[in-house]
Amino acid sequence: MSNLKAKFKSTRLFAVAALSAMSLSACGLFSSESRFDPVELTSYEQTAQGHLVWSQAIGSAGAHGFAPIVLGDEVFAATPNGQVARLALANGAVRWNTNIGTQLAAGVGTDGQVVVVTTRDGRVIALDAASGSQLWESKTSTISSTPPVVAANMIVVRNDDYRVQGFDRQSGELQWSYMRTNALLSLKTDTRMIVVDNLVIVPVPVGRIVALNLADGRPLWDIKISSAIGATDLDSVIDVVGLPVRVSDAVCANSYQGAILCYQGGSAQVAPQLKWTRPFSSSVGLGAYQNRLFASGMHGEVTALDGASGEIIWQDNELRNRGLTNPVYFNNKVFVGDYQGYVHFYEPNTGQLQGRISVGDSRAIQSPLTATPYGVLVQTGGGRLVMLGAQ
């Protein structure tokens, strides 16, 4: 089956194990039509050369829910086999690398002082960021395949039953729990929470983003990113995906079977107001640079949009159905990874495909790409961190 197949998980606990592994076509259920197959790599005039900055093994395998975090000149990451590591961002030197002793479901969350991961058996574990030693662990309501986030006094976990829980940063004791009615199915992909001042911004699988008070979990406001397009359970899958990005005076997000929307304004008590929206379906997050947005569509269409209006500047289909990652901007190029372990780069103003480079692993890149001062950081399907550049 092609890598375009979108994976879903059920919010009904008794069906999680069965449905989380189910593969469905994003365009036609169980369809074997060739138009859904990934295109082969094509020849083109190479106008830029990719290069390896550094590569470091931190564990084995990769999966959705695992995203490296860059803080200053340090990078923190985890792998499904239980490894959690801290490395030097400049050269990949390992500061520490510890094994939790169990399979992980997601990671990492960190503020540079505490590092947090979740396990396949429904626990949240906090480590000391300086040494990697364990500080505490607590039970969650169920497995959590969304990376946790760390705030000043609270660690927040979004579980796969879509209950959001706040744990005391020092002791690990449960402080609050928030839950709302959700769709029966959701997309198995990378979804991220963010902390802004005294709020935690949480995507929920009904096409909405909700702002919760960090102190007690009270909902303060929510905004719509997408609406269901039909009456079936599959039609209701409208997850907000990736990490919201800032473009000029707006914050933008996208969704599966939905749209890209940009909002502006807002505060702890007042929801931001819609600036513009454009229909677009994606299973990965957005990229941004100055007043421009970059997006990877469900069919592999790499797209640049004007951040002020949402108008499409260019769109390329050379990577059709290749299971693309989120696009990121670095060194006047737009980088995007694919299901065979290649990273491709585009000229950001024209959309010209300039070159590609292998990360040294033919497995799919499932973790989001991250732009850093040293290059584009990739967590591979084999559990390595790879820093890439292009000139």
Which pLDDT does position 238 carry in this prediction? 57
Half-sphere exposure of 62 (CA within 13 A, CB side): 26
The residues of the chain that CATH labels 2.40.128.630 are: 53-179, 285-390
Half-sphere exposure of 300 (CA within 13 A, CB side): 22
Query: What kind of fold does domain 187-283 have according to CATH?
Result: Thrombin, subunit H (2.40.10)
The span from the CA of 165 to the CA of 181, in Å, is 15
Contacts of residue 9, defined as CB under 8 A and 6 or more positions apart, other chains included, come to 16, 19, 20, 145, 160, 185, 186, 187, 188
Pick the CATH number of 285-390 from 3.50.30.10, 1.10.10.10, 3.30.870.10, 2.40.128.630: 2.40.128.630
Query: What kind of fold does domain 53-179 have according to CATH?
Result: Lipocalin (2.40.128)
Which pLDDT does position 28 carry in this prediction? 41
Q: Which of 23, 231, 182, 194 is nearest to 109 (CA)?
A: 194
Give Cα separations from 73 to 51, 90, 94, 100, 306 (angstroms): 20, 7, 12, 24, 31
- Report the percent of the chain where pLDDT is more than 90: 69
Please answer whether residues 271 and 221 qualify as being in contact, where contact means their C-beta atoms are separated by less than 8 angstroms.
yes
What is the DSSP secondary-structure string of 224-280? ES----SSSTTTT---EEEEEEEETTEEEEEETTEEEEEEE---SSS--EEEEEEEE
The span from the CA of 236 to the CA of 160, in Å, is 17
Half-sphere exposure of 219 (CA within 13 A, CB side): 14
Which pLDDT does position 319 carry in this prediction? 96
The span from the CA of 344 to the CA of 137, in Å, is 40
The span from the CA of 208 to the CA of 210, in Å, is 6
222: three-class secondary structure by DSSP = strand
Contacts of residue 193, defined as CB under 8 A and 6 or more positions apart, other chains included, come to 146, 147, 148, 149, 156, 158, 200, 201, 202, 203
**Residue 5 identity (one-letter amino acid):** K
Residue spans of the chain under pLDDT 50? 1-5, 8, 10-31
Which pLDDT does position 269 carry in this prediction? 84
Which pLDDT does position 204 carry in this prediction? 82
Instruction: Report residue 188 CA to chain centroid gap.
Output: 11
The span from the CA of 60 to the CA of 82, in Å, is 9
- Owner of token pair 């001062």: 373
154-179 b/e (C-beta count within 10 Å ≥ 16 → b) = bbbbbbbbbbbbbbebeebebbbebe
The residues of the chain that CATH labels 2.40.10.480 are: 187-283
Taking CA 330 as the corner, what is the angle to CA 256 and CA 146, rounded to the nearest 5 degrees?
A: 35
The span from the CA of 163 to the CA of 210, in Å, is 12
Q: What is the pTM of this model?
A: 0.88
**Would you state the structure tokens that stand for residue 143, as one six-digit string?**
């497995």
Q: Using CA of residue 260, residue 253, residue 384, residue 5, what is the dihedral sign?
A: negative
Which pLDDT does position 258 carry in this prediction? 81
**Would you state the structure tokens that stand for residue 266, as one six-digit string?**
């807002």
Which pLDDT does position 6 carry in this prediction? 52
Half-sphere exposure of 156 (CA within 13 A, CB side): 30
Q: Which of 57, 158, 25, 84 is nearest to 382 (CA)?
A: 57
